[in-house]
Every structure is written in structure tokens, then in C-alpha cells.
Amino acid sequence: MSVCTLQINERDVAVPTGTTLLEAARQASIPIPTLCFLEGLSAVAACRLCLVEVRGADGREEPRLLAACVTTAAEGMRVQTHTPRLQDIRRTVIELLFTEGNHVCAICVANGHCELQNLAVEVGMDHSRLPYRFPERHVDLSHAQFGLDHNRCILCTRCVRVCDEVEGAHVWDVGWRGEHCQIISGLGEPWGAVEACTHCGKCVDVCPTGALFHKADTSEEKHSHPERLQALVHARSHQEWSP
């Protein structure tokens, strides 16, 4: 097995060739924030929270901003994960996610158990420097067991990928463009009308916010299920899943 050596925050790290910068950092116990990334699913670099500054790649010395989840580690890379520039970018990304939607944490099913909320605290967002847009978005309660609140969706596409890559149903997709972009079920049908849905709940389990939820949940009652997420990783490799 070939190995490449790089520096992360001025620490020498040796990883197998083909390892991503995010994986390399985690192996070295160096935290990098993520929202769209989930182990066991394909990486899409949608949220851009894992941006890092990279020098030394391809002989370039000027720092480049690269998404750690999709950038492969290379020999001689010098990576910085928490510079003031990166910290400001991450706070701005979180502020954009809050202001372009309608995230009212106090009445959200995921309040206290929300990855977006946790990251807001981590990046020091005690207020938004950007104006709130207050878009008009609907809630789909057509499914018998689950609900979809577009007001809380951050377009991480975890639901799309888990439904496609693990469950194999491909109920979810991304529709429209720009500010009108949103998650859609089927061909823009109500979720409850999509015959391909197997009612497995994987999409609800991987949602980092309260956008997808069990209809029986009320404020603060949506909890993450680490054991189910770990099962997801094994399911992708061994086609095993216990709903």
C-alpha cells in the first residue's frame, strides 16, 4: 500500500494514497466542520463548510481554498484548517443558511439536536450580519409517517444520496434553480403519492436539521440515531439494513 505524507496545521500526517483531506484530518484527530458529508455516502461538497487552505499542491505556493471532503491528499501538501479567513467563511456560510430559510429553532423538532444549530454555536454566530429573506415555503405532510418542512431544508442532499445509494428507491431529487431550488419527491409529487417510497425512514435519520421528521415528533423531540447511521455505512457495503 502506497503512502503519502503531508502537513495539516504544521503536523506531519501519513495516509494511504487516495485518502481525502477530510479523512486525513479526522485520522489525525483534527476536526473540520461538515454538514453535507456523511460517511457511507458519496461526497458532493455542497455546504462548503469543510473548505481548507492548501499550499504545495502541484508546486503552487499561494493558498487555495479546496473542499476537504472531495480533495485527495497529495505528497507535500501543506494544509491549514482553522485560519481566520476560514473561520470567517464558515460563519458566513452558516449565516447564509439561516437567513435564506425560515429556521425558528424554538419550535423546531430538532431543537437541541440539530447539526446546523450546533455549528452556529461552534463558529460563534450569536447574530446574523445578513438580512433575513423570509421565503414562502410549504410543508408536505402527505406521507403517513413523515413530514417535510422546506423552511428548514439546507439542500445538503443527504436524503437524496441515502435514498439512491443505500435504499435504491431514488424518491428524492433536487428541482428548480437558484433561489427556487428545493428537494422534490418523485417528479414534483407530494411525498405520500410517490409509489417508489419504501417508508424506511433513512432520509429522516440522515437529515441534519428538522426538515425531514417523524410526524409524531414535536419541538425538541427529533433525536439523531448514531447506531442507525453506523448501520448505514455497513448497509452500503453489505446490503444490510434494519429499519
CATH number, domain containing residue 178: 3.30.70.20
Give yes or no: residues 148 and 34 share one domain. no
Q: What is the pLDDT of residues 95-140, one digit of tens each?
A: 999 999 999 999 999 999 999 999 999 999 999 999 999 999 999 9
- Shared-domain flag, residues 123 and 195: yes
Coil, helix or strand at residue 88: helix
pLDDT at position 147 = 98
Residue 106 counted as domain residue: yes
Final residue before a domain boundary, out of 34, 65, 82? 82
- Whether pTM > 0.85 for this model: the answer is yes
pLDDT in tens, 8-31: 999 999 999 999 999 999 999 999
If asked whether residues 26 and 140 sit together in one domain, one would say no
143-171 pLDDT per residue, tens: 999 999 999 999 999 999 999 999 999 99
Check residue 29 and give its pLDDT.
96
Query: 142 and 192 in contact (C-beta within 8 Å)?
Result: yes
pLDDT band at 214 (very low <50, low <70, confident <90, very high): very high
User: Do 194 and 156 fall within a single domain?
Assistant: yes
21 and 140 co-located in one domain:
no
Q: 3-state DSSP call for residue 213? A: strand
The residue ranking higher by pLDDT, 211 or 56, is 211
According to DSSP, the β-strands at 78-80 and 139-140 are: unpaired
Length of the chain: 243
Q: Which domain holds residue 93?
A: 88-237
pLDDT at 243 over 50: no
Cα 207-212-217 angle, rounded to 5 deg: 115
Q: What is the tally of structural domains in the chain? A: 2
pLDDT for residue 211 is more than 60: yes
For residue 21, the domain's CATH number is: 3.10.20.740
Q: Does some domain include residue 242?
A: no
Q: Where are the beta strands (DSSP E) in 56-208?
A: 64-67, 78-80, 139-140, 146-149, 172-175, 182-185
Report how far residue 224's alpha carbon sits from residue 227's, in angstroms, rounded to the nearest whole number: 9
DSSP state of 184: E
Helices and strands (DSSP H and E) totals, the chain: 6, 10
